[in-house]
Structure 1
Amino acid sequence: MSKLHTIIRRLRLGTAYRHQLTCHPDFGLERHEDGCSVLWRGRRVGRVGLVGPLKNRYGDHCFTVATGPSLGEVDLGRLAGHDCISLNCAIRKFAEAGMRPRHCVIVDRRIFENQWECVRDSITSGANCFFSAVGLSRICEREPELLGHDNIFLIEAIGRRFGFPGVDKERFHAAYRDDPEVVLDPEHAAQARTIGFSLNADKGFFPGKTVATWAVQLACFLGYRSNYILGMDLGGTGKAHFYGDNRMRPPDFLKDYDPYIRVAFELARRAADDRGFRIFNLSAHSTLPAEIIPKISLEEALADASGAAIFSERVVQP
């Protein structure tokens, strides 16, 4: 899209719908009670599910697999038999191990634009694929036939749902500050649309500047009570991704860490303590300190997942 067309479209969308600017102008969604029809140039090209009906469909525990450099040292085969959530291009690691995850989450439009094989491989793996509206728009542009698969779900940011006007900061805080399904930090009201924790996928999730925050909220909503996160280094190793691909500029986690990522996980920990689920970080060198999300090893996580009582007691006690 040319720069002039972008300017014209920005004016047409106005402030209320500017969150749709990165979607192609020929893309659309028609919402139904049980899903969405995906429209491309006025024609229905597929149907995707909504996250809401999946509430508490799963349980016990899951391993969330992020793409930090530390993932390169992990033998993913050790997770065989466990539910896994693949983030962005972690699907490559699953393919190398001859495994497939239970779920995939891709919300970064740069993955859809620069790492297309990760999108295709996630869909064809058969995993439940949770994609943003921008991601669905890119699929329409590049390979709309992929929307014929029945394992794709629309995942959205709270206050910025496709087809609905966005909510400004003041109205957002007024709408959600007393909502029992939404956890906010009053000290960061200016960033309230980005930093928080949502217990209801129908309202949307908080972006938090990293896909891992989406995954933590999603895992809780799906019903998992323990979430073990691998490869969530957040810049702590000084490198970008385990696969070392230079086709896209790596995110600057250290720039976004404070307050976005830090506070998002502080609120996740608060929600976990209040709601009775657990989150563990398996990246020893992660920027996120153990005081916010406890750090354990893969061996300890596997023992905990198997119900080893001695480990559970040691971790849970303050």
Structure 2
Amino acid sequence: MNTLPSQRNAERGAFSSFEACRNSQKGPVVILASGASARQFPLRDFAHLPVIAMNGSVALTAACAVKPFFYVCTDKSFRDQQPELFATALRDSQRLALWPEQFVGADIPADTECYPLHKADTPGLIDGLRGHGSNHVCSRALWSKRARSIAFSKDLASGYYDARTVAYVALQLAYHLGFEQVLMVGVDLDQSLGRFYEDDEGEHSPCGLDQHWDTRILPSLTLMAEQVVNEHFRVYNLSAVSRIPPEIIPKIGLPEARRMAV
């Protein structure tokens, strides 16, 4: 089921509503990141599934003639660092989730649905006690605002929580939309392996995976695994070289992924 409510973006600034698309989907979705392992993924075999692409992973969707169901970019400098890839994302994607200022002056087809991103407020003390609210789950921390900011948004109309990797935003988007099985591709989260679309001669975007791994990325993924994943929302990692421990997000191979994708 790949159809969202019709919300034509006839004029720049006429944004689509995250509220309207909440729980509008079901079944499996591919989250396509930019880790080196994405090179080995046979995207054409999964082209019948919705794909949430991000940052430079549109290099692979374009090569495989796949139109991303959603494209997510939270790096405001990405357009300047990788202008060709950003233009490809705007041209090819059915739906865009960007900061409002990223839409300004952008060449976007008139029928593309544009969803403005914003960060969610840090959960308060009561939510720190309970560990959840109506629209999110968070770390159970009383007096540490920083610890409570480790959270997962179930409703992107209320904003997303930042884990210093756009893949975590894509996971929150997948939950918001109602997808039930998430197949993560290229989510290596290993700075030493680099991005599949970058080479020695081209432009390289900054990377802070090592800097934020222990403080933001791993705690956020652990929270999701413990408090969000259930029989209605399961997440699987197709990267054999991923830094994410399999006890947090289980690793599967292509045969199992293909069975889910039927």
- TM-score for both structures, normalised by structure 2: 0.85
Q: Is the 8 A contact 2:198 2:204 kept in 1?
A: no
Residue 235 of structure 2: which of 279, 295, 301 is its match?
Answer: 279
CA contact (8 A) 2:135 2:155 kept: yes
Q: Which runs of 5+ in 1 are unaligned?
A: 1-33, 38-43, 160-168, 307-318
The aligned counterpart of 1:184 is 138
Structure of greater Rg: 1
Which has the higher relative contact order, 1 or 2, with Cα contacts under 8 A spaced 6 or more apart? Answer: 2
Q: CA 1:275–1:191 in 2, change beyond 3 Å: closer, same or farther?
A: farther
In the aligned structure 2, how far is the partner of 1:192 from the partner of 1:149?
Answer: 41
Q: For residues 245-284 of structure 1, what are the structure 2 equivalents within 5 Å?
A: 245=199, 246-274=202-230, 276-284=232-240
- Map Cα deviations across residues 247-305 of structure 1 (whole Å, 9 max, x no partner): 24331212211121111111111233357310011111111100111111122211123
Contact 1:68 1:231 in 2 (8 A): yes
Matched, 1:217 2:168: no
What one-letter code is carried by the residue in structure 1 that aligns with 2:196? Answer: F
Partner residue, 1:9: none
The equivalent of 1:296 in structure 2 is 252
Instruction: Kindly indicate whether the alpha-carbon contact (under 8 Å) linking 1:48 and 1:147 is maintained by their aligned counterparts in 2.
Output: no
Verify: 1:71 aligned to 2:38, yes or no.
yes
Equivalent-residue separation in structure 1 for 2:247 and 2:92 (angstroms)? 36
Matched, 1:46 2:2: no
Give the whole-Å Cα distance in 1 for the aligned partners of 2:101 and 2:125: 27
- Paired residue for 1:19? none
Q: Mark the CA change 1:244 to 1:194 in structure 2 (over 3 Å): closer, same or farther.
A: farther
The residue type equivalent to 2:226 in the other structure is R
- Percent sequence identity is 24
Instruction: Provide, for residues 179-207 of structure 1, a one-character-per-residue CA deviation record: whole Å limited to 9, x for no partner.
Output: 14321113593424642111111211111
Report matched runs for 1:116-265 at 5 Å: 116-136=83-103, 140=104, 143-146=105-108, 148-159=110-121, 172-174=123-125, 176-177=127-128, 178=130, 179-187=133-141, 189-192=144-147, 194-235=149-190, 238-245=192-199, 246-265=202-221
Number of residue pairs aligned between Structure 1 and Structure 2: 250
Shift of the 175–123 alpha-carbon distance from structure 1 to 2, 3 Å rule, reads farther
More helix by share: 1
Residues 192 and 131 (structure 1), Cα distance of their counterparts in 2 relative to 1, 3 Å cut: farther
- What TM-score, normalized by structure 1, do the two folds share? 0.71
Give the C-alpha shift of residue 97 in structure 1. 1.0
Structure 1's consecutive aligned runs of 4 or more residues displaced over 4 angstroms after TM superposition are none
Distance 1:45 1:175, change over 3 A: farther
> What is aligned with 2:3?
none
Query: Offset at 1:47?
Result: 1.8
Aligned-partner residue type, residue 231 of structure 1: G
Unaligned runs of 5+ in 2: 1-5
